Amino acid sequence: MDQYYIRTGSQATGLVSALFPGQTGEIVALKKVALRRLEDGIPNQALREIKALQEIEDNPHVVQLKAVFPHGAGFVLAFEFMLSDLAEVVRHSQRPLASAQVKSYLQMLLKGVAFCHANNIVHRDLKPANLLISASGQLKIADFGLARVFSPDGSRLYTHQVATRWYRAPELLYGARQYDQGVDLW
C-alpha cells in the first residue's frame, strides 16, 4: 500500500475514494471493507463481489476489479475509476436525456447483463446508482455485492431479500426463493 497515494473524498456511503498508483498514475476507485471482528472473517457480500468480478473480468460493460489488498483492519477493492453513475446523470440533467443517449445506455446495459448471465452470474441489484458512467459516456455495471453464481438448472434456493426495494422484481417481492436471471431484467 505504500506505493499509493490516497486522495481524501468519498461518495455518500463514505466507502469509495480515489487512488493514484505511484507507478502508472492511473486513477482508480477504492472500496474499503472493514472487518468488524477478525474471527467473523470476510463478509459474504465482499466475497461474492470479488468472486463475481473475477468470473467476468475483461468485459467493456462491467466495471473492472484491478486489485484486492489488505489495509488496516480490513481490505480494499481497487476498481477502474468511473466519473459518475446513471442516477447522478439523470438527477443533474437540465432536461430529459436524448433518445439516442437512452438507447446507447440501454444497449450497453443489456450487453453487460447478457455477458453476466452467459457466465452464470445474476447481479440481483441493478439500479441507476449501480450503473457507472465514464467521462467518455461508457456505461458499466458495478456493485456486485448481492451477485451470485447462478445454477442454470433452477434447483438452488436463493434469498428473496435482495435488490433495492424500489427496483425489486415482483417474484422477489412475493418472497420467491427459486428464481432465475429474470430478476435482473425487471
Give the catalytic positions in this structure.
125
User: Taking Cα atoms as reference points, which of 166, 115, 172 lies closest to residue 144?
Assistant: 115
142 close to 113: Cβ distance less than 8 angstroms: no
What are the strands, taking DSSP E only, across 38-93?
65-70, 74-80, 84-85
Edge-to-edge strands of the sheet including 139-141? 84-85, 131-133, 139-141
Distance CA 87, CA 56 (A): 24
